[in-house]
Copies of this chain bind each other. A is one copy, B any other.
């Protein structure tokens, strides 16, 4: 008999959690709770298949009517109330709910079943006519807007409400009397009739069918259709309709409402945690007008209901095997659960709850690993803004590097360095940063830029330094003379500001922060991850300090050392510039000879910090003009310092100018034009390797040639590296094993990876540049339209943060397959920013890479992501938010 309508109530439901396709997610969950014996207000769900029928034919099977009536009667009986009756009336809610959670469909209709008589009855029952008529007013408005489709410009209701308040000289809705509200209902209905001649349906049954059809129609609404198209949700899925009895927490002092968590969502502590309000409805808790009481106080107020709630929460947690977030109402002493779902939690709580539940025997280690979203770990490792502190938001930018920091605003790298040397905390504020700013960035507590994206210079360097950074804060207008304006305020040099790098917030003044603390359970949890993962995790690090920090986070080697960052400090930049302006090879070699010992000592430090692990060193990559100043004043000053004419230096700078520096004279192209640079770098690497080996350090250098497009470029550079290695080893009478490999960061390299693997002993995918070239998209310029693309669903995510598996990923797969076809045991890794993004790490595992490399603070994230994908491969289902 029950074909289309599925009842739930009084401990029994026609469906359960498995029947999502028929009942939708919401309906299935209501059925599941009911079957568990949880007190849920009774109701019924109309099968999603009818949505298709309705859309196709504009009608529904005639037998549906009788089914709905029969189920409504069951609800009436259980509630002891009658739908449409003035005495003890039954009110219902009507909600949409598809198998897939999907925004854009119909808003919930509450209190359906009201008309003038019913409202009068409720006023009498509650002894509160003002409440009854306010609920009635809201229902008419909601019905008109949502069911009759007046929402938006056509809706007459707000204007009428406003006029009524004006007329009464009051400001707040709640200051209107019951008589005002009653009158307003009449005005609403009259206005409605002017727009829609059939007017507001006084018959509750007509209201119900109107709402049911409105749910079905909402499946074809613009936003819903767009959402499905963008997310590949099939049209034929349809939405179910949920009709459920209303219960009231505001029927007097024996009623109330609340929300609760089965464990502490902030710390993960194993205790019942929540808030409730006596004589109130759910929206009162949310609105924050009254201050709720703690859940423990409920034990005094409603001992029986509280006892039942405790028993219920324990059952629910055991049943769902996860921390639950509950909504409940007590109506005249009777407890009703309105919703249960897996509760949101902080990163720290997620790890603690997972570890505790394993110890409690509730879940397995594997499940624990799959419970924690890798991204959530980020919160654990960085200080946070104290959530209790009041803040004045100046602007929002991109959450470029997590953590929080306060400091005095400075506007040049030199200033940052000098102020910091005086012991001041500073935030470096720049239009955008360049490699010349490194020293100042290192000295600052945090970095704020007005331009640039998640992989801009500021963002990449800050993440590497583990320093908080807000990048691309568009509303920040920087006057580098010494101030910026944002949010209508001006911040001058020396004013305090606070950055929240985890959320991209720029905040006025000095806001207290909370330090990151790693409990023992963190180490235990990460240990489990290491047991199951197959992918190695390395770090990107340019200094011994970074290398040591990353080892602390579990890094198993360095996947990328960028040698150019080493050239910006003190005397180095001077020697570097001498090399660039040199007129001939002899001049360049003279300058390079000065750089050699500095570079060698850098490598000695890094090798020592990574004792026993491989270290991949990328040879000089950026175009040479990045090392020269570009402003006339700076050029003049440098020229004086270097003893050459400003005109000559200006000409050199101009001659190095490039239309598209990203696609210019950089990477191995430099080493090919100036083999003496490659030679110096190779010498520094191998001399350092020989020196630290003599001190008992185990060193495994991997020399990486950047920006290779053809195997001939690689061979050219490889020959130099191997020759120099031979020379150094012969002189030292000692050999150190090493590899020579290449970045795969240009499409052509991936496409000809078979040729390249004939020479390269390892590949490291440079997915930052590979994404730029595959998309033809400069990450420095993408800010103008990329956010809009993501917002509009033209791209599922920023491809510089989350690897584009469909396009860039396909190219990587081609590169891996071709490379391994020639060299079976080719070592393959990734060293772009994606190496620290969970979904990208999982992709790297799936395509058979050996390792990922990421900034030190993301190493734990990558370890967990690697563990999750290994478990997935064994058939475990990943329930964390990352896919």
Given A663-B663, A806-B752, A810-B751, A712:B793 Cβ within 8 A: yes
* Closest-CB distance, A435 to chain B (whole angstroms): 14
**Contact across chains for A659 and B659 when beta carbons are under 8 A apart:** no
Q: A664 contacts which of B713, B755, B778 (Cβ < 8 Å)?
A: B778
Number of copies: 2
Cα–Cα, bound, A707→B777 (Å): 10
Q: Which residues of the other chain, B, contact A747 by a CB distance below 8 angstroms?
A: 747, 773-774, 776, 807, 811
Cα–Cα, bound, A753→B673 (Å): 37
Cα–Cα, bound, A772→B778 (Å): 13
Cα–Cα, bound, A654→B672 (Å): 35
* Closest-CB distance, A655 to chain B (whole angstroms): 9
Cα–Cα, bound, A784→B780 (Å): 23
Q: A660 contacts which of B663, B785, B789, B793 (Cβ < 8 Å)?
A: B663
**Contact across chains for B710 and A781 when beta carbons are under 8 A apart:** no
Q: Cβ of A548 < 8 Å from any Cβ of B?
A: no
Q: Which residues of the other chain, B, contact A788 by a CB distance below 8 angstroms?
A: 672-673
Q: Which residues of the other chain, B, contact A769 by a CB distance below 8 angstroms?
A: 776
Q: Cβ of A745 < 8 Å from any Cβ of B?
A: yes
**Contact across chains for B751 and A807 when beta carbons are under 8 A apart:** yes
Q: Which residues of the other chain, B, contact A716 by a CB distance below 8 angstroms?
A: 794
Q: Cβ of A272 < 8 Å from any Cβ of B?
A: no
Closest 6 CB pairs of A and B: A663-B778, A660-B778, A748-B807, A659-B780, A664-B781, A746-B776
* Closest-CB distance, A453 to chain B (whole angstroms): 11
Cα–Cα, bound, A788→B716 (Å): 13
Cα–Cα, bound, A781→B673 (Å): 14
Scan residues 661-715 of chain A and give those whose CB is less than 8 A from a CB of chain B. Answer: 661-665, 669, 672-673, 707, 709-710, 712-713
**Which single residue of chain B is at the shortest CB-CB distance from A673?**
B785
A672-B794, A709-B775, A773-B774 known; 17 new pairs, CB 8 Å cut-off, are: A659-B662, A659-B780, A660-B660, A660-B661, A660-B780, A662-B778, A665-B785, A669-B785, A673-B784, A707-B776, A710-B794, A710-B807, A712-B793, A746-B776, A747-B773, A747-B776, A747-B807
Q: Cβ of A808 < 8 Å from any Cβ of B?
A: yes
Cα–Cα, bound, A36→B752 (Å): 48
* Closest-CB distance, A362 to chain B (whole angstroms): 43
> Contact size class for A?
35 or more
Q: Cβ of A795 < 8 Å from any Cβ of B?
A: yes
Q: Cβ of A331 < 8 Å from any Cβ of B?
A: no
Cα–Cα, bound, A663→B755 (Å): 28
Cα–Cα, bound, A716→B792 (Å): 10
Cα–Cα, bound, A780→B804 (Å): 28
Q: Cβ of A658 < 8 Å from any Cβ of B?
A: yes
Q: Which residues of the other chain, B, contact A808 by a CB distance below 8 angstroms?
A: 748
Cα–Cα, bound, A789→B794 (Å): 39
Interface code A751-767, partner B: CB below 8 Å = 1, 0 otherwise? 11001000000000000
**Contact across chains for A778 and B658 when beta carbons are under 8 A apart:** yes
22 inter-chain pairs at a CB distance below 8 angstroms, sorted by A residue, are A658-B780, A659-B778, A660-B781, A662-B663, A662-B776, A662-B778, A663-B776, A663-B777, A664-B781, A664-B784, A665-B781, A669-B785, A707-B776, A712-B793, A746-B776, A747-B807, A748-B774, A748-B776, A748-B807, A752-B807, A755-B806, A773-B774
Scan residues 716-733 of chain A and give those whose CB is less than 8 A from a CB of chain B. Answer: 716
Cα–Cα, bound, A751→B712 (Å): 25
Q: Which residues of the other chain, B, contact A775 by a CB distance below 8 angstroms?
A: 709, 746, 748
* Closest-CB distance, A187 to chain B (whole angstroms): 36
Q: Which residues of the other chain, B, contact A746 by a CB distance below 8 angstroms?
A: 774-776
Q: Which residues of the other chain, B, contact A807 by a CB distance below 8 angstroms?
A: 709-710, 747-748, 751-752
Cα–Cα, bound, A549→B707 (Å): 43
Cα–Cα, bound, A773→B811 (Å): 13
Cα–Cα, bound, A776→B811 (Å): 15
Cα–Cα, bound, A776→B776 (Å): 9
Cα–Cα, bound, A752→B806 (Å): 7
* Closest-CB distance, A822 to chain B (whole angstroms): 15
* Closest-CB distance, A84 to chain B (whole angstroms): 47
Q: Which residues of the other chain, B, contact A660 by a CB distance below 8 angstroms?
A: 660-663, 778, 780-781
Cα–Cα, bound, A777→B660 (Å): 9
**Which single residue of chain B is at the shortest CB-CB distance from A665?**
B784
Scan residues 74-92 of chain A and give those whose CB is less than 8 A from a CB of chain B. Answer: none
